[in-house]
Chains A and B, each alone.
Chain A
Amino acid sequence: MSQQPDAAELDQLRAKADRLAAQLAEENKMASIGRLLASIVHEVNSPIGSILSNNQVVLRSLELMKSCLASGDAASLAKAKKLVETCLSLTAIDKIACERISDVVRGLKTFVRPDSSELSKVNLNEQLQDTLKLTQGEFRQRITVETDFGEIPLVECHANMLNQVFLNILVNAGQAIEGEGRITVRTRLEGGSVHISIGDTGHGIKPEDRPKVLAGGFTTKPVGVGTGLGLALSKKIVEEIHGGSLSFESEVGVGTTFHIVVPVEQATKAAG
């Protein structure tokens, strides 16, 4: 006769399962952060390389110009003019390089705010734009991102949590697209909620996998890359914490679109 676990054992098992789930969630978050950091380092490496190099060339050019202007003959003046042109074009590039780096830093700021339990009213269009900046490194040249931002009011929410959801779905979308493709981000006000859709032209989700996608523990990514928790957590954030909904539609070989619906106001205030 098999022994049934008693209530105390069940509680212990449940507690253990919760701890493991939390651990996996943390690992998933660290893995996401790792991937994100790698893409940010790559994004920032080239502009920094250019700025360092240009700085050195401009300094050297200024020294040469100084001696050219000191000698004053026609050949030296002609050389000085040419050096000025070089410095002008390199400085213009430096501006672009600096802007690229500050874009990434600005995008990072959305993730630096501590996980506060306080709600804040934010413009989700701006949040999406900032989060998109973090994907620029991975997407640029390979994936075209189209945005269609509707008129939406400020939304009362945990902004950094929603940004994690957006980033998770965007990264998944990028990974679903092999080679070149397109990601479309659209926002609309629908009644008392904001509807955000993120669509990709990736390989799509097979019908037999669809029920598993949001359930947790499912991943098509290689071992160590995906822990299958990103979307389950995203669903928790959107549905349990914000009272919204997270759903998707997909067609194999065509693409997938995720729909995030978040109420504009949270019903946390006492009635009356």
Chain B
Amino acid sequence: MGTIEKASVLIVDDEEMVITSVRAYLELETNFEVHGFTEPEQAVKHLENNLVDIAVSDYLMPRMSGIQFLTRAKQIQPEASRVLLTGHADKQSAIQAINDVGLYQYVEKPWENEQLLMIMQNGIERAQLLRELREKVSELSTAHSSLKDVQKRLLRAFL
């Protein structure tokens, strides 16, 4: 399969203006499906019911930090890429989270649109590749078991 599916992007930031700005840029330059949430809990619900290629989250949010949110995202959809938006002050926490949360990248605020886009494109490609890989492995596994099944029946027929 060579076609790239339409990418689904999740953005979480307690500041509405950040979501609006990023959405406007992405809608102008790409055909991504953008889902923005100012409430991390609602973003979690979205993840439970919708396939997402990349989740971008702010770090400092009132009720749930970006790291807590991305940890939940990892549990619900491990193949989706995870990106953290950080202010300079929380850069250290972001670096520590790279391993714990399996962060794909972190982006410092104020962000540069082109840099964000490039990271998102790479993150989306990674997620879609991982998903395709899993599906292929699953197909192989199924094919392998049915082959073994056929093999068993053939052996029985001749013994």
Contacts and interface: CB of A to CB of B under 8 A. Distances in A.
Given A50-B18, A93-B17, A96-B17, A45 B24 contact: no
B109 A53 contact: no
A152 interface: no
A47 interface: yes
A90 B27 CA distance: 13
Contacts of B112: 52
A49 B15 CA distance: 11
Interface in A32-55: 38, 41-42, 45-50, 52-54
Given A41-B87, A86-B24, A56 B113 contact: yes
A86 B15 contact: no
Contact of A90 (B24, B109, B111): B24
B2 interface: no
B14 A90 contact: no
Nearest to A97: B17
Contacts of A89: 20, 24
B21 A42 contact: no
Contacts of B88: 41
B24 A49 contact: no
Contacts of A52: 110, 112-113
Name the residue in B22, B88, B109 with the highest tally of chain A Cβ atoms < 10 Å from its Cβ.
B109
Contacts of A60: 28-29
Interface in A80-99: 86, 89-90, 93, 96-97
A141 B14 contact: yes
A142 B21 CA distance: 24
B20 A93 contact: yes
Name the residue in A49, A86, A90 with the highest tally of chain B Cβ atoms < 10 Å from its Cβ.
A49
Interface residues of A, number: 24
A254 to B, nearest CB: 23
Contacts of A41: 87-89
Contacts of B13: 46
Contact of A38 (B20, B22, B62, B89): B89
A57 interface: yes
Contacts of B110: 45-46, 48-49, 52
Nearest to A54: B21
Contacts of A42: 60, 87, 89
Contacts of B60: 42
A53 B14 contact: no
A86 B25 CA distance: 10
Contact of A50 (B20, B28, B89): B20
Nearest to B108: A45
B62 A50 contact: no
Nearest to B22: A53
Interface string B4-22: 0000000001110110111
A271 to B, nearest CB: 53
Interface of A: 38, 41-42, 45-50, 52-54, 56-57, 60-61, 86, 89-90, 93, 96-97, 141-142
28 contacts: A38-B89, A41-B89, A42-B89, A45-B87, A46-B15, A49-B18, A49-B110, A50-B18, A50-B20, A52-B113, A53-B21, A53-B25, A53-B113, A56-B113, A57-B21, A57-B28, A57-B113, A86-B27, A89-B20, A89-B24, A90-B20, A90-B21, A90-B24, A93-B17, A93-B20, A93-B21, A96-B17, A141-B14
Given A61-B28, A93-B17, A142-B62, 16 more contacts: A38-B89, A45-B109, A45-B110, A46-B18, A46-B110, A49-B21, A50-B18, A50-B20, A52-B110, A52-B112, A53-B24, A54-B21, A57-B25, A90-B21, A90-B24, A93-B21
